Structure 1
Amino acid sequence: MDRRSVLRTTVAAAGGAVFSGSLWTGALAAPAQPGPSPYGPLGAADANGIQLPAGFTSRVVARSRQTVPGTSYTWHDAPDGGACFVAGTGWVYVSNSEIASTGGASAVRFNADGSISSAYRILGNTNRNCAGGATPWGTWLSCEEVSLGYVYETYPLGGTAAVRRPAMGRFNHEAAAADPVRQVVYLTEDESTGCFYRFRPTVWGDLSAGTLEVLVAGSATSGPVTWARVPDPDGSPTLTRNQVSGAKRFSGGEGCWYADGTCWFTTKGDNRVWAYDAVNQRIDLAYDDSLVSGTAPLTGVDNITGTRSGDLYVAEDGGNMEINIITPDEVVAPFLRIGGQSSSEICGPAFSPDGTRLYFSSQRGTSGSSSGGITYEVRGPFRS
């Protein structure tokens, strides 16, 4: 998008989840290129093994198979996708568990000062819950990353049972992002020949019924697109991605984030960040590691989130175990790096509702095993 675009900030905080970010107007001028981070270079690793820019600090929030500090709740294995929600004067961070058959999702509730008040289960006995997405009405969509997997709508504040949402399609789900303007939910598919979907609820705010559509386009990496209805969202006997002729293929759909008319999503097979312009119905490349000048700072692209300033934060599955920032003027640079955990991946980046704290997990930690997951918090002078 135009590097000199005037930035506009909007916030829609219905239900507690923050959907905001600067408007990157027009078509992308070119995919993002390496450059200096707005936060400066990374410093030496701290006591948690994390390299951060000056002024930022980290703490460990939870470890798999250990009780969350200040609670009696044991944190889940293989923490993955996550999001934050307003909870009274504090907030909640939810996290999926990418474990077969018993996956589900958990939550940590924070007081206004950032101290932990409680932790608890919000979904259980589901299959490889990888990523997902927050809704404007304050629920968390937890997605199963298995063939014919489901989306589950969960309740971060607890006290309400999760609900399966089959109308949103059965396929190898990864992430979801709600667009409150067009009243749709975008969905990625983690397959080497996967698709990009949107779900149109019959009634906005009620995901029990609606229409599943798939993006249709040519082979180009930019240009106009259309949408077509998926005839059978159940995906049996014909998989959803094979039901519509001309459905555009994406190489391993991963993270998904909506802000100000654009849905950003990542594909791990080709290390790309895509921008779907929902206003003009077109796609463009926001980042492609094969098109950068010099050494690509961002590889193994995975989960993605954004901020009010319009900055995108993209977590790596592998790579250098970094979270990279992509700015509205199309600069990509490392924001943090985790050392000594090369057999892990970074998952679930999400900002607290006030934008001052970033949560994320190392799925397998230093052990390289799903039982070694670590969930972190980073505080500092994030751009607002």
Structure 2
Amino acid sequence: MSTTRRQALARTGALGAAVAFSGALTELFAGTATAQATGGRAGYGPLVPDPRRLLDLPKGFRYSVLSREGEPMRSGQGPVPSNCDGMAAFPARPAPGSRPGRHRRAATCLVRNHENRMDGRVPVPTAEDVTYDPAAKGGCTVLELDRDNDVLEEYVGIAGTSTNCAGGPSLWGTWLTCEETEYRAGEEGYTKDHGFVFEVGFDPRRPTSVEPLTAMGRFQHEAVAFDPRSGVVYETEDAFDKPFGLFYRFLPAKPRGGPGSLHAGGRLEAMRVPGVPDLSTVTEPGTAFDGIEWIEVPDPLAKETPVRFQDFGKGGITHAQKLEGCYWGGTCVYFVSSYARSSEGSKGDHFGQIWRYDPARRRLTLVVVFGPGTDVELPGESPDNICLAPSGGLMVCEDGDGAQHVFGLTRHGTVYPMARGAQNIGTEDEPKWGEFAGVTFSPDQRTMFVNCYEPGTTFAVTGPWHH
């Protein structure tokens, strides 16, 4: 995509006006307390260029840099790894190996993925008791923050995993980190099979396990979301090639069982939308499908055939390109398809979708379609990581070409710019900016945390948030 027009818009602050989408945003937030309490006012004004050239924000907002790739971690385990991706914030608890005698008490634990493959710039250091495959370069790091967002500790949460993209918080306060790869032992230098979900803890009562959650499948995982009522776990798959990924649900043998309980196994199923082999062919927001079917995965470990290639019997299975963000809201699970391109093998084209699945009704609904309207050089395509905002709306990380943003989306349908990356990793003549990832809010909702993927940077953003 040509970036000339987008760069001009970014520099003048005219960012939100041409973003197009359609759909019923109120559906996204039904049942959430914040949505009921506020109207989700339309943004915070134009973005102000940052003199430090790191992060542009609206007037009245401030950021601090918590961590940057290559700098030493406070634990002494090595440098901060690169490719900062999915992330979640938890109320802090004492962490294994934390330094004694700290003068300030931790308030928040940030658990941060590193999507390092074998060519990762700065690998996650191997660490005792939390390394799965010593040859792999991905994993997670944990930052302990005080109430002022000062970093008290930074250490390895899990190492020896690969391509840790997103994941999701469990019902019992641990982080499930997802490997977006399918390499086997002996391929590309790996010594163990990859493509799993791992449980990362930061509390002696909730320890990290380096044993993969094999029953949850071996495929190119992206994100997970729990149904808090039933304990069912929904999973997205961001497969790199055709046939594209599937949307899954995992029925644990011990639902809501606590730390380590997912190792007890369960049943993995994939979603079938009768008559719809590819979700990209659905373009009208509000389109709903009843009678959604869940088909048991024949071989969750993909011993011989990747899951998305397996035989799901008469009727086949439903695929979708770029299935990424996933979260639970109200009584439903929502998941994101970042884009679909027929030139890459999809049956249809779009600039981003948000889908809503209602388990009680077995109904799937296309809620929102993103897009840059009539001008494909305007911002607003390729939504990726996604989270609920204090105002009751959404924060959406953009993963497209040209300037990169965190966009806000109010529950009444207004799109507004919340942040813009200002770290130019290209040249003056051909500028380039790293995507945003891992947007999340602190437990008290006073701070937005977000990563820049490249160069790996974790920001804490504070200001006059609408509540």
Report the TM-score when normalising by structure 1: 0.84
Matched residue, 2:308: 241
Asked if 1:223 corresponds to 2:288, the answer is: yes
One-letter identity of the residue aligned with 2:352:
R
Residue 288 of structure 1 is matched in structure 2 by: 369
Aligned 8 A contact 2:390 2:465 in 1? no
For the structure 1 residues 189 and 132, does the alpha-carbon distance in structure 2 shift closer, same or farther, using more than 3 Å as the test? Answer: same
8 Å Cα contact 1:323/1:336 also seen in 2: yes
By how many angstroms is 1:183 displaced? 1.7
Which of the pair is proportionally richer in strand?
1
1:9 partner amino acid: T
Q: Over alpha carbons, which structure has the higher Rg?
A: 2
Match of 1:377 in 2: 460
Q: For 1:246-284, what per-residue CA distance to the aligned partner results, in whole angstroms no more than 9, with x for missing partners?
A: 321111111212221232222233331322232433333
Aligned: 1:153 with 2:199: yes
Counterpart CA distance in 2 for 1:4 and 1:149 is 35
Pair 1:172 & 2:237 matched: no
**2:13 — aligned with what?**
none
1:268 aligned residue (316, 335, 338): 338
1:317 equivalenced with 2:399 (yes/no): yes
Task: Report the counterpart of residue 210 of structure 1 in structure 2.
Answer: 266
Match of 1:120 in 2: 155
**What does residue range 1-384 of structure 1 map to in structure 2 within 5 Å?**
8-10=31-33, 22=35, 37-68=42-73, 72=76, 74-88=79-93, 90-100=107-117, 101-147=136-182, 149-157=195-203, 160-162=207-209, 163-191=211-239, 192=241, 193-204=244-255, 205=257, 206-208=261-263, 209-217=265-273, 218-219=275-276, 221=282, 222-224=287-289, 225-243=292-310, 244=312, 245-270=315-340, 271-278=351-358, 279-290=360-371, 292=373, 297-319=379-401, 320-339=403-422, 340-341=424-425, 342-365=432-455, 373-384=456-467
Cα deviations by residue, 1:100-130 (Å, 9 ceiling, x for unpaired): 2220110000112322111111101111111
* C-alpha distance 112-343 of structure 1, shift in aligned 2 (>3 A): closer
Give the whole-Å Cα distance in 1 for the aligned partners of 2:30 and 2:59: 26
Matches of 1:254 and 1:294, distance apart in 2: 25
Larger displacement relative to structure 2 (103-112 or 251-260):
251-260
Could you tell me which amino acid in structure 2 is paired with residue 216 of structure 1?
Answer: R
Contact 2:250 2:268 in 1 (8 A): yes
Q: Distance in 1 between matches of 2:464 and 2:383?
A: 25
User: 1:284 corresponds to which letter in structure 2?
Assistant: T
* Contact 1:102–1:127, Cα closer than 8 Å, also in 2: yes
Q: Report the alpha carbon displacement of residue 382 of structure 1 after superposing the two structures with TM.
A: 2.1
Greater Cα offset, 76-85 or 233-242: 233-242
Letter in 2 for 1:197: Y
Question: Counterpart amino acid of 2:199?
Answer: E
**How far apart are 1:211 and its partner, in Å?**
1.0
Check whether the contact 1:352–1:358 (CA below 8 A) recurs between aligned residues: yes
Residue aligning to 1:33:
none
Change (3 A) 1:375 1:275: same
Q: Deviations over 1:274-308 (max 9, x none)?
A: 22232433333343334846665322321111135
What does the per-residue CA deviation read over 1:288-338, in whole Å, with 9 as the maximum and x for residues that have no partner? 334846665322321111135431111122332101112211222221111
Specify the code of the residue in structure 2 equivalent to 1:313: M
Contact kept? 1:347, 1:363, Cα under 8 Å: yes
Structure 2 runs not aligned, ≥5 long: 1-22, 94-105, 118-135, 183-193, 341-350, 426-431
Residues 202 and 308 of structure 1: is their aligned pair in 2 closer, same or farther, counting only changes over 3 Å? farther
Q: Tell me if structure 2 keeps the 8 A contact 1:109–1:118.
A: yes
Q: Which runs of 5+ in 1 are unaligned?
A: 11-20, 24-35, 366-372
One-letter amino acid matched to 1:329: H
The residue type equivalent to 2:379 in the other structure is P
Shift of residue 51 of structure 1?
A: 1.6
More moved, 197-206 vs 48-57: 48-57
Give me the whole-angstrom Cα distance separating, in 2, the residues matched to 1:103 and 1:314. Answer: 24
Secondary structure class of the residue paired with 1:125: strand
Change (3 A) 1:268 1:80: same
RMSD in angstroms over aligned alpha carbons?
Answer: 2.6
The aligned residue for residue 16 of structure 2 is: none
CA-CA distance at 1:94 after TM superposition:
0.8
The number of residue pairs the alignment matches comes to: 355
In structure 2, relative to structure 1, the CA distance for the partners of 1:308 and 1:210 (3 Å cut) is farther
**Aligned partners of 2:174, 2:26: CA distance in 1, in Å?**
36
Amino acid of the residue matched to residue 345 of structure 1?
E
